[in-house]
A = this chain, B = another copy of it.
Amino acid sequence: MIIDCHGHYTTAPKQLQAFRDDQIAELKAPPPSRTKKPVQVTDDELRASVQPQLNFQRDRGTDLTVFSPRASAMAHHIGDGVTSQHWAEHCNDLIYRVCGLFPMSFVGVCQLPQTPGMSPTSSIAELKRCVTELGFIGCNLNPDPSGGHWTAPPLTDRYWYPFYEAMVELDVPAMVHVSASCNPNFHATGAHYLNADTTAFMQFLSADLFKDFPTLRMIIPHGGGAVPYHWGRYRGLAQDMKRPPLPDLIRDNVFFDTCVYHQPGIDLLLKVVPADNILFGSEMVGAVRGIDPETGHYFDDTKRYVDGAALSGADRGKIFEGNVRKVYPRINTRLAQVQA
C-alpha cells in the first residue's frame, strides 16, 4: 500500500469558498456574525470535487491520501477566534464527509482554529472532536498564525505545551504547516512554506522539547524546507551547540515528507536523512500544478522520484507505508475498520 501523507482538499466545492467570502466580507463591514452559517454541499458535489485527486492517485499508483483542508486557505490571520473556529469546523466537516464517501482513498487530518495572540489551548477542543468523533489521525499545526509576521512564540516554548499534551493523549502527530502570507515579503508556496519548515527544524534542534514529550511527533513538510540541502550546516551547528547528533535528535520525533519536485532533490533527501524519518508525500493537488518539460511528468508526481531513487526495498517500504503507520498510528485502526 502506498500512502501519501500530504494531500490538501484544494478542489472543494465552491460553496465552501462562498461561506469564507461571506465571513471575510462581514469582517470588513462589521458587526461580523457570531453564529455559524451553514455550508450546503451534496454528496454528489463532494464526489465530483475530489475526482481530480482520485484520478491523480489512480494514475500515479498511490492508494491512500492523508487528507486535510487547503493549507493556504486556513489563513488564521483573518478575523478572530470565532472566525477561525467556524471556518475550521466547516473545512474539517467536509474532509470528514469525503473520507466517509471514499474510505479506502482518504483519511482525515484537521485544520485548527488558531488565531494570532490566542493560546493554542483554544484548538484542543476541535482537535479532540476531529480525532474522537470524525476519525481523523492528525492535525496541521501553524507555527505562525499571524501569516508571515511570526508573532507567536517558537514551537519549543511552553506556550504550546497544553496543545502537545492533547496530541500525546490522543496519540496524533502534527504536520507543521503555515498558511497564506499577508506579509508582502513572503510568497506563500515559494517562500513562507519553506521558511517555516526550516525555522521549525532549527527550533527543534535548539531545545529540549522532545525530552519533555518523548512521544510527540512532528512532520516537517516540503522535504524539510532548506534542511536536507544544508544537512552539513545543521550537523555542524548541532555539534557547535553541544546538541545530540541529528539522527538521534530527530529519531522518534521529527519527520520529513517527500514534497520535493525534482529527482536531484529527492536523491539528496534520501541520501542524508535516515529512511526511518521520511514519509512519502506529494502535496497534491497543490503548490505546483504543471508538467515538467524536462521529464514530461507532473512536477508533483513525487512517487516517480522515489521510485527512481537508489533505495533498498525495505527503505522504500518504510517511506511509502511503514513510517506513515508509525507516525500516525490511528491510521491502522482506521484502515482495519474500513477493511472489516
Query: Which residues in B have their C-beta under 8 angstroms from that of A231?
Result: 262, 264-265
Known: A185-B199, A198-B195. Is A261-B299 also a contact (CB below 8 A)?
no
Q: Can you give 7 contacting A-B residue pairs, CB < 8 Å?
A: A150-B186, A153-B185, A191-B201, A222-B233, A223-B229, A231-B265, A232-B263
Bound-state CA distance A287–B185 (Å) is: 25
The majority secondary structure among interface residues of chain A is helix
Q: Tell me if A239 is interfacial: C-beta within 8 Å of chain B.
A: yes
Bound-state CA distance A205–B265 (Å) is: 20
Query: Which residues in B have their C-beta under 8 angstroms from that of A222?
Result: 230, 233
Query: Which residues in B have their C-beta under 8 angstroms from that of A263?
Result: 232
Instruction: State the copy count for this chain.
Output: 2
The chain B residue sitting closest to A290, CB to CB, is B239
Query: Which residues in B have their C-beta under 8 angstroms from that of A240?
Result: 288-290
Q: Tell me if A332 is interfacial: C-beta within 8 Å of chain B.
A: no
Query: Which residues in B have their C-beta under 8 angstroms from that of A206?
Result: 187, 190
Bound-state CA distance A185–B263 (Å) is: 31
Known: A191-B202, A198-B191. Is A230-B223 also a contact (CB below 8 A)?
yes
What's the least CB distance linking A308 to chain B, in Å? 13
A interface residue count range (under 10 / 10 to 19 / 20 to 34 / 35 or more):
35 or more
Q: Tell me if A234 is interfacial: C-beta within 8 Å of chain B.
A: yes
Bound-state CA distance A268–B231 (Å) is: 12
Q: Tell me if A189 is interfacial: C-beta within 8 Å of chain B.
A: yes
A203: contacting residue among B187, B189, B194, B268, CB under 8 A? B187
Query: Which residues in B have their C-beta under 8 angstroms from that of A299?
Result: 232-233, 235-236
Query: Which residues in B have their C-beta under 8 angstroms from that of A150?
Result: 148-150, 183, 185-186
Q: Tell me if A260 is interfacial: C-beta within 8 Å of chain B.
A: yes
Q: Tell me if A292 is interfacial: C-beta within 8 Å of chain B.
A: yes
Known: A190-B202, A202-B187, A202-B191. Is A265-B144 also a contact (CB below 8 A)?
no
Residues of chain A from 24 to 55 with CB closer than 8 A to chain B in the complex: none
Q: Tell me if A310 is interfacial: C-beta within 8 Å of chain B.
A: no
Most buried by B among A154, A201, A264: A264
Query: Contact: A229 with B226, CB < 8 Å?
Result: yes
Residues of chain A from 163 to 203 with CB closer than 8 A to chain B in the complex: 183-187, 189-191, 194-195, 198-199, 201-203
Bound-state CA distance A116–B317 (Å) is: 51
What's the least CB distance linking A137 to chain B, in Å? 26
Q: Tell me if A228 is interfacial: C-beta within 8 Å of chain B.
A: yes
Q: Tell me if A272 is interfacial: C-beta within 8 Å of chain B.
A: yes
A282-293 CB mask vs B (1 if < 8 Å, else 0) is 000001111011
Query: Which residues in B have their C-beta under 8 angstroms from that of A157?
Result: 184
